[in-house]
Structure 1
Amino acid sequence: MQSHVDADVIYTPGYVDPSYWANHSISEKTDVYTFGIVLLVFLTGREAVVRNEAGEYEYLKPYVKSHDSDGQVHIIVDPKISMEVGEAEPAHQQLLDFLTLALLCTQDKSEARPEMIDVAKELVRIENCISSG
């Protein structure tokens, strides 16, 4: 069974797996990376890449990681989500779990990323915590 395919890909900036740039091959983990970026977009309400006032591109993942390392998840979460879930500890933990999952999916090395089935299971676990919390 082939684990990757060498291919030229039509892509959207900000969503491309870094390992694609290194070897121009795609795998199931390429989709996991892109899905992780989608999760970060949902969580933050920001686009995957924006152009700042200086005309430079700013990518979402480094922005998130810079705030995640400080434990400042509340700064990166879309204010609409923050208002919806409130400030209770269970909701805060669920946001942290969601962020952790998104960052795990967007690891630079594809072998460090989870399988998509495990991503789906974790999303169900987070949803169940929300439902029961």
Structure 2
Amino acid sequence: MRLQIAYDSASALNYLHTSSSIPVFHRDMKSSNILLDEKYRAKLSDFGISKSVAIDQTHVTTGIMGTPGYLDPEYFQSNQFTEKSDVYSFGVVLVELLTGQKAIYTILGEAKSLISWFLSHVENSRLLEVLDAQILQEGSNEEFMAIANIAVRCLNLDGKKRPTMGEIQREIEMVRSQATSSNPKIEQD
């Protein structure tokens, strides 16, 4: 189900970036802006701060808007929002799907960043320690590693090195296909 949510969300962002008649940057990609229907299919919502851009335009210069924990560090520093800023936010959502944690969580009254915690565990080859117990029972280490790798690439501090939403969509689809072939109980559209 989480793979399907990731795929549907990636597909929607890819559509906004490349397939709509005028490209759109969502600018507030976060888990609470992903709605699920009765079949747990994901739909993006809350386009209140979205910006349409000319096809040849690479960024939008604006005051910082968005949700802490999901904001692209480059956007935070430059006030220039790009399609790769949405990619960064999507990476945060992937980490939430993997860990079952919120982007910013509190321990002993102190706010902590899910992304720093996740990346430190990945760097130290301790990914399995941070994965949600439920997905550990339902998937394979190869699937977790593949999605974690996508998330790490989305969270690259250099926006130019992040994948496009189209690349992400295709990579998640490959993981879904492998999961479906190894577990026939998983539905795939």
Render the CA deviation track for 1:51-75: whole Å, top value 9, x for unaligned. Answer: 221x332101110111111212211
Which residue in 1 is equivalent to 2:25?
none
Which residues in structure 2 correspond to 1:1-133 (within 5 Å)?
A: 1-53=56-108, 55-85=109-139, 91-133=140-182
Q: Could you list the runs of 5+ residues in structure 1 that have no partner in the other structure?
A: 86-90
* Higher RCO, 1 vs 2 (CA within 8 Å, ≥6 residues apart): 1
Measure how far apart 1:10 and its partner are: 2.8
Contact in 1 for aligned 2:92/2:103 (Cα 8 Å): yes
The residue identity in structure 1 corresponding to 2:90 is F
Q: Could you list the runs of 5+ residues in structure 2 that have no partner in the other structure?
A: 1-55, 183-189
Give the 3-state SS of the residue equivalent to 1:50 in structure 2: strand
The residue identity in structure 1 corresponding to 2:161 is A
CA RMSD of the aligned region, Å? 1.1
Per the normalisation by structure 2, the TM-score is 0.65
Q: Return the structure number with greater helix share.
A: 1
Per the normalisation by structure 1, the TM-score is 0.91
Render the CA deviation track for 1:2-51: whole Å, top value 9, x for unaligned. Answer: 10110124311100000011101101001000001000000000000112
Quick one: distance in 2 between partners of 1:82 and 1:67? 16
Contact in 1 for aligned 2:64/2:76 (Cα 8 Å): no
Render the CA deviation track for 1:62-90: whole Å, top value 9, x for unaligned. Answer: 101111112122111101111222xxxxx
The residue identity in structure 2 corresponding to 1:121 is R
Which 4+ residue blocks in structure 1 deviate beyond 2 angstroms?
none
Residue-pair matches, total: 127
Measure how far apart 1:131 and its partner are: 1.1
